[in-house]
Amino acid sequence: MVMLKALTQYQEATGDRRVIPVMQRYFAYQLAQLATRPLRDWGRFRWHDEVVSVLWLYNRSGDPNLIELAKLLHQQGYDWQAEFADFKYTQRITPEFIKLNEHNGLGDTALATHGVNNAMALKASPVWSLLSGKDEDRQALLHQLSEIDHYHGLPNGIFSADEHFAGRNPSQGTELCTVVETMFSLEIALAVMGTPALGDRLERIAYNCLPGTFTDDMWAHQYNQQPNQVQCSLNHKPWTTDGPESNLYGLEPNFGCCTANFHQGWPKLTTSLWMTSSDDGLVATVYGPCELHTTIRNTAVHLTEETDYPFREKIHIAVHPEKSINFPLQLRIPAWAKDASIRVNGQTQPAPQPGTFAKIERTWKQGDTVEFTLSLEARANKGFNNSIAFERGPLVFSYPIGEDWLKLRDRGMTADWQVYPTTQWNYAVSTDAITATESPLAESPFTLKGAPVKLEVKARKVPTWVAEDGVANPVPQSPVTTDQPEETLTLVPYAAAKLRITAFPELKS
């Protein structure tokens, strides 16, 4: 299944003519074999990822046997909709609960609560809806996300999965494979459903969790990242089933899957920045500096998007069609963008509604421009134990703890590292005054040194909030009181702080 996904992307990038024939032969073979050799363990729980490849080939060949194969994969695969229709995995999963020592750890409960399986399964209902045509299949994803958020959501936009569901305590972690597979599922789901909120969620994960789990030079990464990450060391806590190297920065900490997987994050996001619409239009689904070459009704169209988003609020799009052509251009307006504005060739357009796609339909000419502003206002959101997390646009902000990097071992051109705190971190915050400051954008903006935007908040230490065995205790229930003096904390984008506090107790006003 993994090779099939790689082949489809390779063919799209290169046009290699060998790919489609070999996929056709393999799928014919698989269809003949599945009755006597049905899906099992990992394949059974990831059937939908193969259906993506099957439908990719069907759209190029029209072979009706591929539809039969897709239906058989669905029939033999795990029923994710049923799991979330009556979601029972509402607590932190333990090795005893999933009977880790039985069936080589591949029992149904273990696989159903596995973080990466659930990340991949976010595409299951939307993909199946392409065959069923049922709106209830399309909408099942939104219920799935709601249940995961309610019981396992974390303030950085992802859900806990270290290696299985682990509740909402922000000291729990998330596997890097879960991050990139959630991104890919959201990209597929967004293409199928056209739901703006999926783009909001995708940006939140891409601009926080993805860069937040590797070093500035990308030569080392973590297996598990934590929103409240006060130490990265050889400890067994707080992981459900993972080993003591799980939050180290290194070549392949804990297990090598993330080493082979994390680099799909940025390229697949890039291929999903723009999509086409059913009415021969273009849709800006995710924002970032990019360039697009495409064809609309046999007319070549070239777009350039210039922006410092997500650190800045302005986005400039220049449209360069080969000749004048009428088509709709849609812009995703995030739900948090309360005062967004759009101008076309300097002319103000009707105010767009947050949480929608703003549609501009006109005859586009060479050099037309679209300028829009997505108001980046700092805001405070409540989470686990009524804790507070700060956001601005799609960015989540954290308090950066002082870092002391200790090399564990050399690994060829890189190394494995432990990271220990050098400053205190146990603060409660006030939400009365949040101040944002901007500085010039650096070459590496997702770093502590190059962070181009920071927030300042008022805070006081909470001496009773401590760490045990290198892990911050759960955030105290808010509101809290403390007699410690008031301080001003400077927060940076989540990815810039490798040791950090992201969820704070709130001070009693």
CB 318 within 8 A of CB 371: no
CATH numbers and ranges of domains, the chain: 1-77 (no CATH), 80-271 (no CATH), 274-373 (2.60.420), 378-501 (no CATH)
Structure confidence at residue 104 (pLDDT): 82
CB 452 within 8 A of CB 442: yes
Measure the CA–CA gap between 193 and 501, rounded to whole angstroms. Answer: 35
Listed in sequence order, the DSSP H helices in 194-345 are 196-204, 257-261, 265-271
Listed in sequence order, the DSSP H helices in 156-250 are 176-193, 196-204
Measure the CA–CA gap between 262 and 239, rounded to whole angstroms. Answer: 20
Structure confidence at residue 325 (pLDDT): 98
| Residue 281 pLDDT greater than 90, yes or no | yes
Task: Band the pLDDT of 345: cuts 50, 70, 90.
Answer: very high
CB 356 within 8 A of CB 391: no
Task: Band the pLDDT of 200: cuts 50, 70, 90.
Answer: very high
| Residue 236 pLDDT greater than 90, yes or no | no
Instruction: Tell me 208's DSSP state.
Output: I
| Residue 442 pLDDT greater than 90, yes or no | no
CB 221 within 8 A of CB 259: yes
Tell me how many degrees the CA angle 232-145-73 measures, rounded to the nearest 5.
Answer: 100
Tokens linked to 159: 């859900």
Nearby residues of 496 by Cβ (< 8 Å), 6 or more positions away: 398, 400, 446, 447, 448, 450, 451
279: exposed, middle or buried (Cβ count in 10 Å: 0-12, 13-18, 19+): exposed
Nearest to 160 by CA among 149, 173, 171: 173
Structure confidence at residue 101 (pLDDT): 86
| Residue 103 pLDDT greater than 90, yes or no | no
Q: What is the pLDDT of residues 109-159, one digit of tens each?
A: 999 999 999 999 999 999 999 999 999 999 999 999 999 999 999 999 999
Tokens linked to 111: 């696989």
Question: How large is the average pLDDT for residues 293-309?
Answer: 97
Q: What is the pLDDT of residues 359-379, one digit of tens each?
A: 999 999 999 999 999 999 999
Task: Band the pLDDT of 102: cuts 50, 70, 90.
Answer: confident
pTM for the full predicted model = 0.97
Nearby residues of 213 by Cβ (< 8 Å), 6 or more positions away: 176, 179, 221, 222, 225, 262
Of all residues in the chain, the percent with pLDDT exceeding 70 is 100
Average pLDDT across the chain, whole number: 96
In this structure, how many other beta carbons lie within 10 angstroms of the beta carbon of residue 426? 23
What residue has token string 């990992």? 42
Tokens linked to 113: 């609560």
Of all residues in the chain, the percent with pLDDT exceeding 90 is 96
Tokens linked to 252: 């392949």
Measure the CA–CA gap between 93 and 491, rounded to whole angstroms. Answer: 32
| Residue 509 pLDDT greater than 90, yes or no | no
Q: What is the pLDDT of residues 6-65, one digit of tens each?
A: 999 999 999 999 999 999 999 999 999 999 999 999 999 999 999 999 999 999 999 999
Question: How large is the average pLDDT for residues 59-87?
Answer: 97
Of 24-28, 93-97, 104-108, 140-144, the poorest mean pLDDT is in: 104-108
Structure confidence at residue 354 (pLDDT): 97
| Residue 251 pLDDT greater than 90, yes or no | yes
Measure the CA–CA gap between 86 and 280, rounded to whole angstroms. Answer: 39
